[in-house]
């Protein structure tokens, strides 16, 4: 086995081409490359990579099968633990998780675990037999069809529980559907993975806002033995700046929901409009900001500028996403913070005032704190501003549910090991507990909760 | 699908639809709204629940044709329906504890006003209603309001029914004569609600308005329905849509409603089907 060197490249759409379409950027390995990459794995007896995976995928196990060309079996191995492999293979921050731990990475580049996961998940997309499982262990309601809810539901169904998911939107997937753009995660892939979860016997009820159409207590009255809350972090933050309600200022949630869920990029065939001017500023430095900035370019903006208050090193976005954004021509105004949004008399955005920042001592997050440089205000001319500065949990369900305690940040308090909340029979996980985090962490939380829900029901 | 069981054209370009939605009907209260989607390619459109019937398991909506999507809804026939319907959304309005309330409706605003006026009446309140429209044939729900109002006034721009002029003129006359109103509820075009609020402020009469901001999700997720109330930014879909009229920044709302005017024109003009629209592509 050749373990030296760098990981095998994954073919991608040319940046010049791809900013004109919403097709997927990364194209995936072919069989030959997948086998070659799999052979870079050392098959460690004490695999560090596995410990770095929140859902405990048997990484060397599945990679070995890929190396042997046994792709079907490799996929089965992954799916023992991961209910959404085609999604994780695309959007997980592997560089901070499994790949960060891979021993090959000490000397060379780590094994491309994520790309291999994507390869096996896509390879087996169609030919799979659904197996009948008896669902007589008890009834569980899952609120929210995002990665945490879908994972909890799938695991519970596999264990023989009868599961119903209640979802506020008209499509399942949560952020995977309304937030992450098509060019990074095709909605067909999400649909496919959700269909498999339905095949396990999970029922998904759409257009149901729990806390409005019915409360958590009513779910118990209807005969559910336990409730899992995976309602995510769907409350956009704004900076409270002058001019923030001008026409042309969006939260990233609104901008991306119009484009992804409502397909505004196909306007006017699809009837939901979205406004993108010539020059767009996106405030923030995470994945959400990258997605918004890259989407704006695809919608026809001439310039798309990331305005971020810290430096390149401190940006929380995945390395690959920053790189892709740069390739596509997104500009970066680092160490800058907006102070005011400027508009014309009709209420439309005409510009943004920013102040330059410098980095001071590290703060609680361990990152160096940005400090404004007095008198350094300057103006950029833009006609659209997208705020991508974070989300907190959506309070509709929480406010409607008695005895469900939350932190000062509005996140639900849970036992870290079990996902139990302060209310009997109610479990929670994902962004609604951690604040905006990652797909795989949300899935990990769903998995843990499924286990403790089963235990809770069996012990009653 | 959420089926339409009954359809009635109640005025020029205004239809009343009774829709099968038992779970929503069971939870609906005055002030709640729905979001509907006609088909896969349609917009999500917010509409007030104008009436509801738990026994029948139906909700009634009253829709005015203003652009493409509302026309699409108005064109639906009995037996057809909505692909999606989500609700009840928003905060219901409080209707108990008042002795005398004046309800002011303008144009289509009479529809969302009706369940509130009806509920006030049921709670034993003396209800004085003022309904306005551009012309007599656009005035809706006159009979329904007549049934639940102690006094009913009407105003049309051209004088074809009731007072010739605006509802605010009728209201001002009333306020000059009677000083025992405890609350005003005004629902109609943004500009009407603005003028009513300015007027009632002079009389220190508590006033509730209902905002029809642009919305996407209706659950507080997107922030698109932002409105400045007093010093604070609120989301009309979850904090409202009813707010204290004396605190709402109406001018901001008037500007925000104009945001998509160009695109709306494009939808109306473009008969285009299939494929990606060319003006979103770069050379
Ligand atoms: C634009 C964007 C890009 C991202 N990129 C990445 C990435 O590349 N990699 C990564 O790992 N993470 C990424 N993330 C973060 C990741 O998507 C989230 O951490 C993850 O989706 C959280 O999952 P969840 O199940 O907790 O919640 P969500 O995905 O938010 O799902 C919650 C679901 O609950 C529904 N819901 C809410 N309230 C109710 C209610 N009262 N009743 C019924 N249903 C309700 C919502 O409609 C939604 O469908 C990104 C996030 C965004 C916004
Ligand atoms: C909480 C709430 C309750 C509502 N209740 C009702 C109701 O009971 N019956 C009803 O007919 N309408 C109601 N509306 C308004 C309705 O949603 C809009 O008329 C509809 O979205 C317009 O869509 P369109 O595509 O037909 O028009 P567009 O082509 O989008 O617009 C045509 C014209 O209408 C204006 N417009 C667009 N959206 C709105 C809006 N949300 N409010 C006011 N004007 C708008 C535009 O500025 C434009 O001038 C409500 C809105 C909200 C937010
Ligand atoms: S740590 Fe790296 S080399 Fe070792 S088993 Fe995991 S992927 Fe293979
Ligand atoms: S409509 Fe999205 S927050 Fe109100």
Residue B269: per-residue pLDDT: 65
Residue A366: per-residue pLDDT: 78
Least Cα separation, residue B236 to chain A (angstroms): 13
Instruction: Estimate the share of chain A in helix, then strand, then coil, as percent rounded to the nearest 5.
Output: 35, 20, 45
Asked if B27's CB is within 8 angstroms of A269's CB, the reply is: no
Coil, strand or helix: which one is B69?
helix
Coil, strand or helix: which one is A25?
coil
Least Cα separation, residue A161 to chain B (angstroms): 25
Q: Is the pLDDT of residue B218 over 90?
A: yes
Residue nearest atom 25 in ligand 2 by C-alpha distance: B69
CA pair distance A25, A415, nearest whole angstrom: 39
pLDDT tens digits along B25-64: 999 998 899 999 999 999 999 999 999 999 999 999 999 9
Which residues are bridge partners to A369 per DSSP? Answer: none
Q: Is the pLDDT of residue A224 over 50?
A: yes
Number of the ligand closest to the Cα of B69: 2
pLDDT band at B105 (very low <50, low <70, confident <90, very high): very high
Structure tokens given for B137: 């044939």
For A245, nearest residue in chain B (alpha carbons): B226
Q: What angle do CA A447, A449, A452 make, to 5 degrees?
A: 115
Residue B10: per-residue pLDDT: 87
Q: Which residue has the tokens 């500065």?
A: A389
CA pair distance A2, B171, nearest whole angstrom: 86
Residue B268: per-residue pLDDT: 67
For A252, nearest residue in chain B (alpha carbons): B222
Which residues have C-beta within 8 Å of that of residue A159, sequence separation ≥ 6?
A137, A450, A454
pLDDT band at B273 (very low <50, low <70, confident <90, very high): very low
pLDDT band at B165 (very low <50, low <70, confident <90, very high): confident
Residue B282: per-residue pLDDT: 35
Pairing between β-strand A139-143 and β-strand B242-244 as defined by DSSP bridges: unpaired
Residue nearest atom 1 in ligand 3 by C-alpha distance: A102
CA pair distance B253, B277, nearest whole angstrom: 30
**Mean pLDDT, residues A325-337:** 94
Residue A270: per-residue pLDDT: 86
Determine contact: A396 vs chain B, CB below 8 A. Answer: yes
Could you tell me if the CB of B68 is within 6 A of ligand 2? yes
Helices (H), A39-137: 48-51, 59-67, 71-79, 85-91, 98-101, 104-107, 113-123
Residue nearest atom 7 in ligand 2 by C-alpha distance: B47
Asked if B87's CB is within 8 angstroms of A300's CB, the reply is: no
User: Distance between the two ends of chain B, CA-based, in angstroms?
Assistant: 41
Determine contact: A262 vs chain B, CB below 8 A. Answer: yes
User: Distance between the two ends of chain A, CA-based, in angstroms?
Assistant: 52
Q: Is the pLDDT of residue B278 over 60?
A: no
Asked if A20's CB is within 8 angstroms of B282's CB, the reply is: yes
pLDDT tens digits along B130-151: 999 998 888 989 999 999 999 9
Q: What angle do CA B112, B124, B141 make, to 5 degrees?
A: 30
Pairing between β-strand B14-20 and β-strand A336-343 as defined by DSSP bridges: unpaired
Determine contact: A273 vs chain B, CB below 8 A. Answer: yes
Alpha carbon A42 to its chain centroid, in Å, reads 30
Residue A305: per-residue pLDDT: 96
Closest CA to A335 of A313, A364, A352: A313
pLDDT tens digits along A359-404: 888 888 777 888 999 999 999 999 999 999 988 998 899 989 889 9
Asked whether the beta carbons of A22 and A183 are under 8 A apart, the reply is: yes
Least Cα separation, residue B214 to chain A (angstroms): 11
- Backbone φ, ψ for residue B25 (5° rounding): -60, -35
Residue B272: per-residue pLDDT: 41
Closest CA to B87 of B276, B217, B282, B224: B217
For A19, nearest residue in chain B (alpha carbons): B282
Could you tell me if the CB of B45 is within 6 A of ligand 2? yes
Number of the ligand closest to the Cα of A102: 3
Closest CA to A384 of A350, A340, A353, A354: A350
Least Cα separation, residue B278 to chain A (angstroms): 9
Asked if A268's CB is within 8 angstroms of B270's CB, the reply is: yes
Asked whether the beta carbons of B25 and B56 are under 8 A apart, the reply is: yes
Q: Is the pLDDT of residue A241 over 80?
A: yes
Q: Which of residues 197-216 of A touch B (CB under 8 A)?
A: 206-209, 212-214
Could you tell me if the CB of B64 is within 6 A of ligand 2? yes
Tell me the count of A-B CB pairs closer than 8 A: 135
Which residues are bridge partners to B105 per DSSP? Answer: B131, B187
Determine contact: A345 vs chain B, CB below 8 A. Answer: no
Asked if B68's CB is within 8 angstroms of A271's CB, the reply is: yes
Q: Name the percent of chain A lying above pLDDT 90.
A: 66
Q: Which helix (H) or strand (E) is B17 found in, with range?
A: strand B14-20
* CA distances from residue A7 to A165, A284, B133 in whole angstroms, order as listed: 39, 30, 70
Ranges assigned E (strand) in A299-428: 303-308, 331-334, 336-343, 349-362, 368-372, 378-380, 384-387, 391-392, 426-428
Asked if B222's CB is within 8 angstroms of A254's CB, the reply is: yes
Coil, strand or helix: which one is B87?
strand
Q: Which of A169, A245, A268 sits opposite B233 (nearest CB)?
A: A245
Asked if A236's CB is within 8 angstroms of B275's CB, the reply is: no
What's A266's DSSP letter? G
Residue B82: per-residue pLDDT: 95
Asked whether the beta carbons of B245 and B204 are under 8 A apart, the reply is: no
Residue A369: per-residue pLDDT: 86
Residue B279: per-residue pLDDT: 37
CA pair distance A339, A421, nearest whole angstrom: 39
Q: What is the mean pLDDT of chain A?
A: 91
pLDDT tens digits along A124-136: 755 555 566 777 7
Q: B269: buried, middle or exposed (CB in 10 Å: 19+, 13-18, 0-12)?
A: exposed
Closest CA to A27 of A47, A11, A43: A11
**Mean pLDDT, residues A66-85:** 90
Cis omega before residue A31 (within 30°)? no
Q: Which of B69, B259, B272 sits opposite A269 (nearest CB)?
A: B272
Nearest atom of ligand 1 to the alpha carbon of A429: 26
**Mean pLDDT, residues B174-201:** 92
């Amino acid at each position: 086995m050749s373990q030296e060197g760098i990981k095998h490249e994954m073919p991608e759409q040319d940046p010049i081409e791809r900013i004109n379409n919403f097709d997927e950027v990364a194209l995936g390995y072919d069989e030959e490359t997948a086998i070659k990459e799999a052979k870079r794995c050392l098959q460690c007896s004490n695999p560090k990579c596995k410990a770095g995976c929140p859902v405990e995928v048997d990484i060397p196990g599945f990679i070995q099968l890929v190396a042997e060309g046994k792709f079907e079996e490799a996929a089965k191995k992954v799916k023992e633990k991961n209910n959404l492999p085609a999604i994780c293979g695309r959007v997980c921050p592997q560089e901070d998780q499994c790949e960060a731990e891979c021993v090959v990475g000490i000397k060379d580049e780590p094994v491309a675990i994520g790309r291999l996961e994507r390869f096996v998940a896509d390879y087996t997309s169609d030919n799979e037999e659904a197996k009948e499982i008896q669902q007589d262990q008890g009834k569980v309601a899952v609120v929210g069809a995002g990665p945490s809810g879908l994972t909890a539901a799938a695991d519970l169904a596999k264990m023989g529980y009868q599961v119903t998911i209640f979802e506020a939107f008209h499509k399942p997937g949560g952020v995977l559907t309304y937030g992450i753009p098509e060019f990074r995660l095709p909605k067909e892939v999400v649909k496919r993975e959700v269909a498999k979860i339905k095949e396990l016997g999970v029922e998904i009820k759409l257009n149901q806002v729990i806390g409005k159409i019915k409360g958590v207590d009513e779910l118990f009255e209807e005969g559910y033995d336990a409730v899992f809350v995976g309602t995510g972090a769907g409350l956009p933050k704004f900076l409270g700046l002058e001019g923030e309600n001008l026409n042309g200022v969006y939260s990233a949630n609104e901008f991306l929901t119009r484009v992804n869920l409502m397909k505004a990029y196909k306007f006017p065939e699809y009837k939901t409009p979205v406004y993108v001017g010539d020059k767009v500023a996106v405030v923030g430095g995470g994945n959400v900001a990258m997605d918004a900035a890259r989407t704006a370019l695809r919608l026809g903006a001439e310039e798309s500028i990331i305005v971020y208050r810290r430096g390149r090193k401190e940006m929380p976005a995945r390395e690959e996403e920053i790189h892709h954004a740069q390739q596509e021509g997104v500009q970066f105004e680092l160490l800058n913070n907006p102070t005011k949004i400027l508009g014309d008399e009709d209420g439309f955005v005409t510009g943004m005032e920013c102040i330059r920042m410098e980095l001071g001592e590290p703060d609680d997050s361990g990152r160096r704190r940005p400090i404004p440089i007095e008198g350094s205000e300057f103006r950029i001319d833009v006609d659209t501003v997208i705020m991508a500065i974070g989300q907190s949990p959506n309070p509709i369900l929480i406010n409607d549910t008695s005895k469900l305690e939350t932190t000062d940040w509005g996140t639900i308090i849970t036992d870290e090991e079990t996902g139990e909340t302060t209310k009997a029979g109610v479990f929670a996980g994902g962004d609604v507990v951690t604040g905006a985090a990652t797909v795989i962490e949300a899935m990990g939380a769903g998995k843990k909760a499924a286990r403790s829900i089963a235990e809770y029901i069996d012990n009653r | 699908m959420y089926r339409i069981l009954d359809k009635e054209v109640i005025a020029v370009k205004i239809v009343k639809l009774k829709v099968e939605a038992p779970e929503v009907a069971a939870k609906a209260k005055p002030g709640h709204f729905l979001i509907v989607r006609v088909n896969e390619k349609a917009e999500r459109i917010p509409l007030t629940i104008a009436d509801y019937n738990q026994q029948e398991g139906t909700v009634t909506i009253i829709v005015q044709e203003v652009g493409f999507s509302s026309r699409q809804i108005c064109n639906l026939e009995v037996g057809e329906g909505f692909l999606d319907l989500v609700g009840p959304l928003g905060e219901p309005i409080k209707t108990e504890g008042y002795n005398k309330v004046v309800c002011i409706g303008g144009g289509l605003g009479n529809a969302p006003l009706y369940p509130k006026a009806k509920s006030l009446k049921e709670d034993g309140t003396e209800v004085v209603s003022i309904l306005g429209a551009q012309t007599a044939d656009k005035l809706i729900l006159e009979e329904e309001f007549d049934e639940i109002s102690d006094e009913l006034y009407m105003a049309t721009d051209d004088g074809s029914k009731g007072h010739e002029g605006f509802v605010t003129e009728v209201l001002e006359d009333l306020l000059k004569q009677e000083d025992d109103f405890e609350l005003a509820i005004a629902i109609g075009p943004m500009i009407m609600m603005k003028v009513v609020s300015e007027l009632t402020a002079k009389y220190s009469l508590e006033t509730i308005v209902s905002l029809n901001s642009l919305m996407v999700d209706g659950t507080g997720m997107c922030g698109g329905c932002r409105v400045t109330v007093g010093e604070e930014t609120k989301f009309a879909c979850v904090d409202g849509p009813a707010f204290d009229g004396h605190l709402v920044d109406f001018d901001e709302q008037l500007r925000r409603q104009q945001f998509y005017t160009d695109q709306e024109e494009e939808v109306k003009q473009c008969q285009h089907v299939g494929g990606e629209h060319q003006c979103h592509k770069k050379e």
